[in-house]
Structure 1
Amino acid sequence: MKNKSVVVIGTGFGGLATAIRLRAMGCNVTVVEARDQPGGRAGVFKRDGYTFDAGPTVITAPHLFDELFELVGKERSDYFELMPVTPFYRVSFPDGSSFDYVGDEEELIAQIREFNPPDVEGYKRLADHARRIFETGYEELVDQPFDQLSEMLRVVPEMIKLRNHRSVYDLVASYIEDPRLRQVFTFQPLLVGGNPFNVTSIYLLIHWLERKWGVHFAKGGTTAIVGGMMKLLEDIGVDVRLSSPVDQIEVRGGRAQAVYIEHEGEIERIACDFVVSNADPSVVYTNLIDPAHRRRNTDKRVARVKQSMGLFVGYFGTDRNYSEIEHHTIVLGERYRELLDDIFEKKILADDFSLYLHRPTASDPSLAPEGHDSFYVLSPVPNNESGIDWEAEGEAYFERILAHLEERHMPGLREHITTNFFVTPDYFQGELSSRSGAGFGPEPRLTQSAWFRYHNASEDISGLYFVGAGTHPGAGVPGVLNSAKVVERLVLEREKGANGPGSASKKETMANRLTRKIGAIIP
């Protein structure tokens, strides 16, 4: 692989991780990024002395970062620091009760007993089920390619045995009676763009993943991780070009040959042996590749992909500390299933909401001026297929959220706010080039997971690979980091002897034909 040149599109965690892995393999790597800062969704806003992470704030499976640095003989701790967070989340209910979701089993069970004693035994069985799902869905499958139908069919019996055809909520409800506890153990798919009433119960593995490795936060914010990975790329000789949006992926003879970028008003062609995209596959296929090269991922098929929900994220700083607020707080509303139905299915902006409140200064006071607190509050909302005019609705919606937080959790909040702003699905669609302003790419329901999700190796174009939230295994930091491992495997398998189209085997070509036929039936 030492003579191979590759262009990686995008500097989200998936793109950065892939660039490190490919460089460790000996490739000459060029990374191009449309924005003037790296990180993709994991960007940063700095306002009035406050540091606000723009995207992911929950770090699990920290060993995935350690692996990347070890691949090139470095220590992750020399580049950024990870701190454990406990409780993982405080879940707050409308009736005033709360549940601290922690890793310690005894403490967890003691709280369950206070809520509903019969659910103690139910939870133990649920946790064991989550462990078995984790051992199959994560330890065995998460970093394996699912580009061939045979790979999907191979695991179907085990998925049925683990009841993965049921939704997360249905499976949890079969073990837990208390409606509040059902919410405690089913909200996690929302952190990767899934409706717990629709998403496959394989995502119950998140519960055991958190139990196994804990929840962490990076000192300096998630942006410190991005900065550390960028410094590593510099140290190992990877060329990163910011403010360089991709205009086109050149395809000749069925193979990706080059990437055209726009930089300082000029169009530049970067020739390469293959391309890895960390951008939204829906956008890449429809905007960057000529339809003549897309037999399967046509505009019509892309339009059928069900995108995840949108996100409204409000940022604010206060001139006092709210020490009673934990690092991660889930603020649940009166409605659960009905609200999610409004967001995912009806695509209407409801009067009520459930929120994720993030207070990073609980772990790292340096993210705000001395004596101040930094916050962001996230509300799941419909994506832009809803037609909501956020220019007209945004200010009022943010005000309702702040009033709600002030009434229930943060007395006098609005008197103490020193700076505030918000982003809507328009930011995700315009600034981050996400189809329909979706927060997490395609919704991770069963028919859009594993083989049914966008493939890590394009079925249409050889030499084109995908990492990130839009492809297998899906959204969330562990998901996108593992997608880089999947692409590493595929590149080793397909690129060593690839000098142009026709390098794929006859067996692979036949499998791709079968894939296209089934894809025409199941979107």
Structure 2
Amino acid sequence: MKKKITIIGSGFSALAASCYLAQSGHEVSVYEKNASIGGRARQLKSNGFTFDMGPSWYWMPDVFERFFADFGKKTTDYYELIKLSPAYRVYYGIDDFIAIADNLPAIVATFEEIEKGSGQILQDFMTEAQSNYAIAIKELVYRPGVSPLELVTVATAKKVGQFFSTISRDVRKKFKNERLIQILEFPVLFLGAKPSDTPSFYSFMNYADFGLGTWHPKTGMFDVVNAIESLARELGVRFYTNSPIEKIIVQNKTAKAIVVHGTRIDSDLVVSGADYQHTETLLDPEYRVYSKDYWESRVFAPSSLLFYVGFNKKIPNISHHALFFDVDFKQHAKDIYDQPQWPKEPLFYANFPSLTDPTAAPAGMESGFFLVPLAPGIEDTEALREEYFNKIMHRFETLTNQSVQNNIIFKHSFCKNDFVEQYNSYKGNAYGMANTLLQTAFLRPKLKSKKVKNLFFTGQLTVPGPGVPPALISGKLVSQLIEKQFKES
């Protein structure tokens, strides 16, 4: 039976949910707070430069293919992918970096060159990581987090020990070179937690990295947003931007409507892809499932200090993605998770999309995106932003052996306060809730409200967790739960 469904937010999970629900024949409307769709994956254009404002890594291409295949489509129907070679560089000193190749044999050779004997160890590690990836993708992440029994399969039973050890512990047992260890610990940072707090099973992220490679949509990650929006419109979804939700109206313990600009908009069911904690503040207190103390007790993924920078020249000695690990990796992690504060010596990430996509900058120029992971909830001021911009740019110039600051003709910053103001993000987190052992699967906030009928949630604070591929999966999971309810009612 056709239902009228309202979706709050237009990030990847909300967009995915809108497609699945429209495909099932429902009347779907998406309401977005900001002027353009995409949630954190919006696009910034200024002075001839183009920047993806949020996600910039395209990993797990099979998940994107599976999403579009659900609608009889392929990614190539909407956008072109470029495999990056090298995938990324990791800098440790002046002109001292490790380039991660675009194929596993070459990466194995790099490891062997740096630490004798580590090549075969890496090959064995990746075999295990690939096995974990197959289990995760085929058996676990497409489950709705309703019951702990979802984690119990023949395959996971054989790997139960990996849920009680950690990535950091396992990697350090196998490898001695600190640089190689950091490279292997890096991918789980996308899960929002320290490697020392992330279960060993999540080594499947290493397979996503070394095994499946790093890709780039031809003109940026916003290509994917445009693709899913196009698919959604083909399916009949309607979009309303500049439409912040003021309240979710509940009658007889059932979600009945939303309020936008003082106007009540009725629907049969509400799905929120907005920040979970914020969404519950749109409800009267008696209908909120998770308390203030609950959210305070969760381990959240970092916030970020972001700079979108336009240079009036081409930048040499750099790759599309670059990680700067020339300072203490562990100390920066402590400054995020253990004793939240601005890090004295921050690690940072730089992304130069115009190396791959000429349309990202005017001819002869370069667009750059710089990111410093920060603890959520800390102080954010313009003075601190500028101080840290100068810190990382000085290090960038030193490590890549060049001068670039005098060539900056455009700069825009984005930090904790902006995450709160523009995305209603809890404490200004950038990636949602971390995937630690006690915040995995059925232990995450639920897709379906326990107190309000016909109110559902999707996105990075619920199942399966942070990241673009998990967000697409979350949209599918919530739509399946909704269809199941409709069939049972």
Instruction: State the TM-score, normalized to the length of structure 2.
Output: 0.95
Contact 1:133–1:162 under 8 Å retained in 2: no
Query: What are the within-5 Å matches in structure 2 for residues 418-433 of structure 1?
Result: 418-433=409-424
| Aligned match of 1:118 | 117
Kindly report which structure 2 residues correspond to 1:17-416, keeping only aligned pairs within 5 A, or say none: 17-94=16-93, 96-152=95-151, 158=157, 161-262=160-261, 267-285=262-280, 287-294=281-288, 296-384=289-377, 386=378, 388-409=379-400, 411-416=402-407
Conserved? CA contact 2:64–2:469, under 8 Å: no
Paired with 1:107 and 1:380, the residues of 2 have a C-alpha distance of 29
- Quick one: distance in 1 between partners of 2:432 and 2:116? 39
CA deviation after TM superposition for structure 1 residue 139, in Å = 2.1
Conserved 8 A contact 2:433-2:466: no
SS of aligned partner of 1:411: coil
Could you say what secondary structure the match of 2:293 adopts? Answer: helix
1:97-131: CA deviation from partner (whole Å, max 9, x where unpaired): 32222342221111111110122232122212212
Among 496, 505, 508, which residue is 2:487 paired with? 496
Structure 2 residues without counterparts, runs of 5 or longer:
none
Shift of 1:10: 0.8
8 A Cα contact 1:333 1:353, kept in partner = no
Question: Which amino acid letter does the alignment assign opposite residue 238 of structure 1?
Answer: V
Letter in structure 2 aligned against 1:289: L
Query: Do 1:322 and 1:410's aligned partners in 2 also have CA atoms closer than 8 Å?
Result: no
Is the CA contact 1:9–1:276 (under 8 Å) kept in the aligned structure 2? yes
Q: Does 1:476 align with 2:475?
A: no
8 Å CA contact 1:94, 1:334 repeated in 2: no
CA contact (8 A) 2:111 2:119 kept: yes
1:162 is displaced (CA, Å) by 4.7
Q: Greater CA deviation, 328-337 or 179-188?
A: 328-337
Give the equivalent residue in structure 2 for 1:453: 444
Matched residue count: 489
SS at match of 2:423: coil
3-state DSSP class of the match of 2:338?
helix
Letter in 2 for 1:255: T
Give the match's secondary structure for 1:227. Answer: helix
Q: Match of 1:368, as an amino acid?
A: A
Deviation at 1:134, TM superposition (A): 1.3
Q: Partners of 1:161 and 1:497 in 2: how far apart?
A: 34
Verify the 8 A CA contact 1:20 1:68 in the aligned structure 2: no
**Between 23-32 and 119-128, the greater mean CA deviation after superposition:** 119-128
2-structure distance, mates of 1:438, 1:334: 23
Please report how far the alpha carbon of residue 230 of structure 1 lies from its aligned counterpart in structure 2 after TM superposition.
1.9
Shift, 1:36, TM fit:
0.5
RMSD, aligned CA: 2.0
Change in Cα spacing, 1:154 to 1:423, as seen in structure 2 (3 Å) is same
Opposite residue 236 of structure 1, the aligned amino acid is L
Cα distance between partner residues in 1 of 2:63 and 2:236: 21
Q: Is the 8 A contact 1:323 1:362 kept in 2?
A: no
**Partner in structure 2 of residue 504 of structure 1:** none
Task: State the alpha-carbon separation in 2 of the partners of residues 328 and 478 from structure 1.
Answer: 19
8 Å CA contact retained: 2:304, 2:430: yes
- Paired residue secondary structure (2:393): helix
Which letter does structure 2 place at the counterpart of 1:477? V
CA 1:156–1:133 in structure 2 vs 1: closer, same or farther (change >3 Å)?
Answer: closer
Q: CA deviation at 1:458?
A: 2.1
Write the letter of the residue equivalent to 2:349. Y
Q: State the AA in 2 paired with 1:362.
A: L
Question: Cα 1:77–1:125, aligned 2, differ >3 Å: closer, same or farther?
Answer: closer
Structure 1 residues 462, 200: closer, same or farther in 2, change over 3 A?
A: farther
* Change in 2 beyond 3 A, CA 1:155/1:460: farther
- Residue 305 (structure 1) shift: 2.1
CA deviation string 1:54-84 (max 9, x = no partner)? 0001112334334444444445323322221
Deviates more, 1:477-486 or 1:208-217: 208-217
Q: In structure 2, do the counterparts of structure 1 residues 116 and 72 end up closer, same or farther at CA, with 3 Å as the change threshold?
A: closer
Once residues 160 and 202 of structure 1 are traced to their aligned partners in structure 2, the CA distance between those partners, rounded to angstroms, is 8
Whole-angstrom distance in 2 between the partners of 1:398 and 1:149: 44
**SS at 1:325 equivalent:** coil
CA contact (8 A) 2:94 2:400 kept: no
Residue type at the aligned position of 1:429 = V
- State the distance in 2 between where 1:251 and 1:153 align: 36
**Counterpart contact for 2:434–2:465, Cα < 8 Å:** no
Contact (CA 8 Å) 2:96, 2:399: kept in 1 or not? no
Structure 1 residue 170 displacement after superposition: 1.3
Counterpart CA distance in 1 for 2:360 and 2:161 is 43
**Alignment partner, residue 518 of structure 1:** none
Whose RCO is larger (CA < 8 A, sep 6+)? 2
Alpha-carbon distance in 1 for matches of 2:401, 2:471? 34
| Structure 2 counterpart of 1:315, one-letter code | Y
For the 8 Å contact 1:309–1:382, the answer to whether it is kept is yes
| 1:61 aligned partner, one-letter code | M
| Residues in 2 aligned to 1:426 and 1:476: alpha-carbon distance in whole angstroms | 21
Structure 2 CA distance for aligned equivalents of residues 5 and 22 of structure 1: 10
Aligned-partner SS, 1:473: coil
